Amino acid sequence: MAGIWMEHTNYPIIDTDGNVERVAVYSRDVTEKKNMEEEIKRTREEFITIFAHDLRSPLSVIMGCAQIIVEPIYGEISREKIKQVDMIKNAVNYLLTLINNIIEVSQIESGATKYIFEEFLLEELLNEIKDMFAIQADSKKIVFDVSEVKDCWVKADRNKLRQIFHNLINNALRYTEAGGRININAQKRGEMVVINVSDTGYGIPESEQGRLFQKFTQINDEKRGSGLGLYIVKKFLEGHNSNISLISEQGSGSRFTFSLSAGKSPRV
Identify the three-state secondary structure at position 217. Answer: coil
Give the C-alpha separation, 213 to 204, whole Å: 12
Q: What is the dihedral of CA 147, 150, 154, 159, to 10 degrees?
A: 60
- Indicate the average pLDDT of the chain: 84
Q: Which sequence spans correspond to the domains of the chain?
A: 33-110, 117-262
Q: How far apart are the first and last CA of the chain?
A: 52
**Residue ranges in the chain modelled with pLDDT below 50:** 1
Q: Is 97 within 8 Å of 52 (Cβ atoms)?
A: no
**Domain 117-262, second-level architecture:** 2-Layer Sandwich (3.30)
State the pLDDT at residue 243: 94
Give the C-alpha separation, 93 to 132, whole Å: 12
Task: Report the relative pairing of strands 254-262 and 153-157 from DSSP bridges.
Answer: antiparallel
Q: Which of 147, 128, 135 is nearest to 196 (CA)?
A: 147
Q: Which of 264, 256, 247, 118 is nearest to 185 (CA)?
A: 256
Give the C-alpha separation, 114 to 63, whole Å: 30
**CA atoms in the 13 A half-sphere facing the CB of 182:** 29
Give the C-alpha separation, 153 to 119, whole Å: 7
State the pLDDT at residue 1: 47
State the pLDDT at residue 267: 66
Q: pLDDT tens across 197-213, in order?
A: 999 998 888 878 888 88
Q: Which of 170, 161, 230 is nearest to 195 (CA)?
A: 161
What is the chain's length?
268
Instruction: Read off the pTM.
Output: 0.71
Give 27-82 as a DSSP string: EEE-HHHHHHHHHHHHHHHHHHHHHHHHHHHHHHHHHHHHHHHT-GGG----HHHH
